[in-house]
Amino acid sequence: MEDILSILQTNEEKQIAIANKIKQVRKSKRVSQELLSKMSNVSFGSIKRFESTGEISLFSLLKICSALNINLKIDNPHPIQGKKIDFYNE
């Protein structure tokens, strides 16, 4: 997901990009939304909403990432330019 988050204009676009990346990882691991709900202890409705709108609490996002073995690396080499978030799928 190279530096896609810095290219996108709105926070909503960034949310959808993050949700799409996590959905892609979930599908590549052949994990259904229902199974991910059980694995992460995040409600099925929250996962469904997240994947369609990008809206989710930070706590739930972290639980989903943990269940899918996704590490979030937040790098901030230039505080004025904002943060870069990389996804690493283990």
pLDDT digits (tens, 9 = 90+) for 57-71: 999 999 999 999 998
- Report whether 43 contacts 3 (CB < 8 A): no
User: For residue 34, which of 48, 14, 18, 16 has the smallest C-alpha distance?
Assistant: 48
Reported as a single tens digit per residue, the pLDDT across 15-38 is 998 999 999 999 999 999 999 999
Label residue 87 by pLDDT band (50, 70, 90).
low
